Chains A and B, each alone.
Chain A
């Protein structure tokens, strides 16, 4: 097959570019240790979340010396905790694992401006671990269409300095 030499050069450059892209993503995964949300989360019955030991009473809990878990239930049209004057409060400099699910339709759980972004799919639990290096206040929004009130679905997350943090979400 006749291939022009310019085209051969272009093909080589293209393959290099593609391999380069794969390498940068792999570096992010392996080098920086950014994990993708996978299937580690359990399966749940979305119609019976109230009876679930964790999602029945969603919130923040301390799971280890520097480890916290946040159970979030998304629903039409709020995050629990997160919305309506009940912000999610987590400490800085700790490993915080979010477990996110929904009791009705698919929602998004997006801490705007960060890479804490996940889908809440009925029957599944999205598990993602993050670390806040600095204190700050963030908005949470739903970024997957979930019905007529979708654009009003928002919440707040506060990363409190470790020294000021009194564990849990104000029970």
Chain B
């Protein structure tokens, strides 16, 4: 039976969340293309350089916060309900958190867009990181706070569904998809403490004039307390797809359920105590703690490397079920014409590259060379920009029919879309990495200077700029293709049964092959908190002891 018929209210929540997510994707993605063409000087006709920073803020906030989070909410709502075979705990509560999230996101987004209209007092030209002393309109912070609280409440739904299921199944292991959703949310609760304190205790009262100054180093540090784990908030739903759905799409079963649990627990405990690797070049933070952040970060490579093994092993298993033979020949037996498969597989492949460029960022002293250069967006467009975004788009081809009851339309377009993304992202990210090595800065409307000559190792700066422009256009084209497929599918009438098979077979190595302590969330949460205290306790205390608002900076609203 199709999911929409089994659980119509759950399917509706998934559709709502996905719709907001796709809307954010459209606008955020368009902004990205405008940025790429502008900063490379390929085309500067969309906006002037001052408004570039409004575009950049919109791109970051819409994509990195709203596109990702709303998709995660839809995906996990489906996954928890499906794996537990549970309904929503309370329809009103669910509508409540969704409304809170959506309203908060809308308010924040509108303040950002207000930056285009000089006559409006609402603006937030502060970028996705909103570092003080740059200040946005108070409604920006209000919107973000509402959005954040809404996301906290979404997790409550899934914990309640788990408790309801647990009462009926006290001796069973937590189903994997629910396990993943719950560990992701536990990580979210711990990590968002930083940004919640930053916004609610400092930036919001400061923007309302209740306090005159804030300590920029403290607020920046609180942001990065959150700013690193948020990338795992983006990555874990992608892993959720690669572990629980991709094996089935490959024609087989998940290689190992226990290792998948271990991976998610590693993220729960290691995601937050690494935030200083975003602040390697910051004064005011002792270098010893930067070293600790570096070692912790390097160990974060482990869950991803383990994932690489399991995902590839599962794909190989599936390929051989489909008749694939040979050392590498089995690759040809995979369903490369199924965009749900191909996009997820290509996303995983690109993530491998992104992981290694991330290791360079993590390399403490190496970071001197690449910090705040285009290497950084080169890296994260491979990770959140592909591992997350392309996986989300691809799995929608499989999930959207199940929650709408409609057959996927424009299948040819869907089939081609992931490949266009992969090629476009290679071009753009390759050039961004090379530009970063030459020292070209990120987040800059016109990186063409009088005094600065960028020396590239390979190719000229002109070639780099062209590559970025072409890559960005391909990316937006791919994004648009995806939205055409989604919209086209939504617009047709329900007719007969869908072609997608929603059945997910059991893994080869099941949960009972693993120690039960893995399911004991309390243990891991305590461990996670202890690690955070070790990493952040002393530096944060020293920033607060000299006065939480001192050394203080008054607000500066960017023109």
Q: Which residues of A contact B295 (CB under 8 A)?
A: 22
Contact for B133 among A108, A122, A139, CB less than 8 A: A122
- B365 and A43 form a contact (CB under 8 A): no
- Give 1 or 0 for each of B538-559: 1 = CB within 8 Å of chain A CB: 0000100010001111101011
Which residues of chain B come closer than 8 Å to A21, judged between CB atoms?
Answer: 298, 301, 359, 362-363
Interchain CA distance A143-B449 in the complex, whole Å: 12
A143 with B306: CB separation less than 8 A = no
Contact A123 B556 (CB under 8 A): no
Q: Which of B281, B299, B363 contacts A126 (CB 8 A)?
A: B281
Total contacting residues, chain B, CB less than 8 A: 81
Q: Evaluate contact between B301 and A18: CB separation under 8 angstroms.
A: yes
Cβ-neighbour of B309 out of A10, A117, A125, A144 (below 8 A): A10
A150 to B49, CA, bound (A): 10
Q: In the docked arrangement, what's the CA distance between A41 and B556, Å? A: 24
Whether A151 and B445, one on each chain, are in contact in the complex, defined by CB atoms closer than 8 angstroms, is yes
Q: How would residues 272 to 285 of chain B score, 1 for a CB under 8 Å from any chain A CB and 0 otherwise?
A: 00000001111111
Known: A1-B513, A18-B298, A44-B551. A144 touches B372 (CB 8 A): yes
1/0 contact string of B328-369 vs chain A (CB within 8 Å): 000000000000000000000000000000010011111011
Contacts A14-B305, A145-B127 given; indicate if A151 touches B294 (C-beta within 8 A).
no
Minimal Cβ-Cβ distance residue in B for A145: B443
- The CA-CA distance from A132 to B512 in the complex, in Å, is 61
A149 to chain B, nearest CB (A): 8
Binds B, one of A28-36, A50-58, A64-72, A160-168: A28-36
Q: How far is the CB of B353 from chain A (nearest CB, A)?
A: 15
Q: Does A121 contact B (CB under 8 A)?
A: yes
* B282 near A141: Cβ-Cβ < 8 Å: no
Tell me whether B409 is interfacial, beta carbon within 8 Å: no
Does A117 lie within 8 Å of B368, measured CB to CB?
A: yes
Instruction: Establish whether residues B258 and A2, one from each chain, have CB atoms under 8 Å apart when the complex forms.
Output: yes
Contact B287–A18 (Cβ < 8 Å): no
Number of interface residues of A (CB under 8 A): 69
Within 8 A of A (CB), among B291-305: 291, 294-295, 298-299, 301-302, 305
B446 within 8 A of A: yes
Tell me the bound Cα distance from A124 to B281 in angstroms: 12
Q: In this assembly, does A47 line the interface, its C-beta being within 8 Å of a C-beta of chain B?
A: yes
Q: How far is the CA of A32 from the CA of B365 in the complex (A)?
A: 10
Contacts of A14 in B (CB 8 A): 301-302, 305-306
Contacting residues, chain A, for B288 (C-beta < 8 A): 38
In the bound complex, do residue A3 and residue B50 qualify as a contact, i.e. CB atoms below 8 Å apart?
no
Residue B198 at the chain A interface, CB threshold 8 Å: no
Instruction: Kindly state whether residue B450 has any CB partner on chain A within 8 Å.
Output: yes
Pick from B49, B284, B369: contact of A124, CB below 8 A.
B284
B256 touches A (CB below 8 Å):
yes
Contact B217 A121 (CB under 8 A): yes
| Residue B371, interface by CB 8 Å | yes
Please report the C-alpha to C-alpha distance between residue A34 and residue B291 in the assembled complex, in whole angstroms: 12
Q: Let me know if A39 is at the binding interface, CB within 8 A.
A: yes
Contact (Cβ within 8 A) B553 A46: yes
B483 within 8 Å of A (CB atoms): no
Is A147 a contact of B281 with CB atoms below 8 Å?
no
CB distance from B244 to the nearest CB of A (A): 18
B491 at the interface (CB under 8 A from A): no
**A151 smallest CB distance to B (angstroms):** 4
Given A1-B513, A151-B49, verify A113-B217 contact (CB < 8 Å).
no
CA distance A10 to B304 in the complex (A): 12
Chain B 407-445: CB-based contact to A (< 8 A → 1; otherwise 0): 000000000000000000000000000000011011111
Given contacts A7-B306, A148-B50, A151-B445, 5 further A-B contacts (CB under 8 A): A121-B217, A124-B217, A144-B372, A145-B53, A151-B444
Closest A-B pairs by Cβ, 10 of them: A139-B452, A123-B551, A112-B439, A115-B368, A143-B372, A38-B287, A126-B283, A143-B441, A124-B283, A36-B287
24 contacts between A and B (CB under 8 A): A7-B256, A18-B299, A18-B302, A28-B363, A28-B364, A36-B364, A38-B287, A39-B283, A41-B284, A44-B551, A106-B134, A113-B439, A115-B369, A118-B283, A122-B551, A123-B551, A139-B453, A140-B451, A145-B444, A147-B556, A148-B50, A150-B444, A151-B446, A151-B447
